[in-house]
Structure 1
Amino acid sequence: MAFNRKQRLRDNIEAIRTAFLLDREQRTPTARERLLLERYCGFGGLKNILNPARELTDAVHWAKSDLELFAPTVELHRLLRENTKDETEYKRNMDAMKQSVLTAFYTPPEITGTIADVLHEHGIRPDRVLEPSAGVGAFVDAVLENRPDADIMAFEKDLMTGKILKHLHPGQKVRVQGFEKIEKPFMNHFDLAVSNIPFGDVAVFDPDFSGSKDPARLSAARTIHNYFFLKSLDAVREGGIVAFITSQGVLDAPTNAPIREYMMNHANLVGVARLPNNLFTDNAGTEVGSDLIILQKNSGKNGELYYNEKLFVQTEQTPIGTSVNGYVWSIGSLSHTDLIRSTDPYGKPAYKLLHCGDIAQLAEDLREHLKIELQQLDRKLYERHRLHPTKEGSTAAEVQPAPKTEKVSPSVIAPVSVIEPVKGVEKPQAQPIGEKPEIEPRQPNHSSAVQLTLLDLWGMPIEEPVKKKKAAKKESKPKPMPSTPKPQVKVTPPVEAAKPVNGNKEEKPENAEKPNAPDDIYATLDWETNPPINGFYETMMSLTAERRKALRLEAERHRQEQLKKMGIKDTLNPAFAPSSDNMDKKPEQTEEIKQPETLAEVVPTSETVATSLFPELETEKPKEEVMDLSPRPFNGLLEPHHRDGSMVLDASRNLGYLKDLTPYGATFQPLDLRGYQKEKAMLYISLRDAYERLYSHETENHTEHKPQRGYLNTYYDEFVMRYGNLNARQNVKLVMMDAGGRDILSLERAEDGKFVKADIFDRPVSFSVESRVNAGSPEEALSASLNKFGTVNLGYMREITDTTEEELLGALKGRIFYNPLVTGYEIKDRFIAGNVIEKAERIEGWMEDNPESERMPEVKQAWEALKEAEPQRIAFEDLDFNFGERWIPTGVYAAYMSHLFDTDVKIAYSASMDEFSVACGYRTMKITDEFLVKGYYRNYDGMHLLKHALHNTCPDMMKSIGKDENGNDIKVRDSEGIQLANAKIDEIRNGFSEWLEEQSPQFKERLVTMYNRKFNCFVRPKYDGSHQTFPDLNLKGLASRGIKSVYPSQ
Structure 2
Amino acid sequence: MDFSELVSVTDEELEHYHNKPEEHPALLPLDAANEYNALKEQHPDALVGFEQGGQFEFYGEDARKVCELVGGKLLEKETELGTVPVTGFPRDQWAYRAKQLWQCGENVYLAGLNEDGTHHQTKYLRREDYLPLGATVHMEGRAFRVDNVNFDKDSVSLQDVALAEMRMPVFRQEPLAVVRELYEQEQDDRQLSDEELDELPISAVMDGKVQTFPDAAALDEALNAEPTPEPAGNFRITDDHLGEGGAKQKYARNIEAIRTLFKLEEEHRGATAEEQQVLSQYVGWGGLADAFDPDKDNWAKEYTELKGLLSEDEYAAARASTLNAHYTSPTVIRSIYDTVERMGFRSGNILEPSMGVGNFFGMLPDSMADSRLYGVELDSITGRIAKKLYPQADITVAGFETTDRRDFYDLAVGNVPFGQYKVNDKAYNKLGFSIHNYFFAKAIDQVRPGGVVAFVTSRYTMDSKDSTARKHVAERADLLGAIRLPNNAFRANAGTDVVSDIIFLQKRDRPIDHEPDWVQLGKTEDGFAINQYFVDHPEMVLGQLTLESTQYGYDLTVAPLEGTSLAAQLAEAVQHIEGQYTTAEIVAPDVADAEAQRKTLPADPTVKNFSYTVVDGDIYYRENSIMTQLELSDNAKGRVAGMVELRQIVNELIDQQLNDFPDEDIKASQVKLNAAYDAFTAKYGLINDKKNARLFDDDSSYYLLCSLENLDENKNLKSKADMFTKRTIRPEHIVTSVDTPSEALAVSIGEHGKVDLPYMAELLGTPGEYGRITTELSGVIFKDPAADADDPEAGWQTADEYLSGNVRDKLRMAQLAAESRPEFAVNVTALEKAQPKDLEASEIDVRLGATWLDPSIVQQFMMETFQPPYRIRYNNAITVRYSPYTSEWRISNKSATGFGDIMATETYGTRRANAYKILEDTLNLRDSRVYDTIVEDGKEKRVLNQNETTLAQQKQQAIKDAFAGWVWKDPQRRTLLVKKYNELFNSTRPRAYDGSHIHFVGMNPEINLREHQR
**Could you tell me the TM-score, scaled by structure 1's length?**
0.36
Q: Which structure ranks higher in relative contact order (CA pairs < 8 Å, sequence separation ≥ 6)?
A: 1
The structure with the largest alpha-carbon Rg is 1
**Could you tell me the TM-score, scaled by structure 2's length?**
0.37
Q: Which has the higher strand share?
A: 2
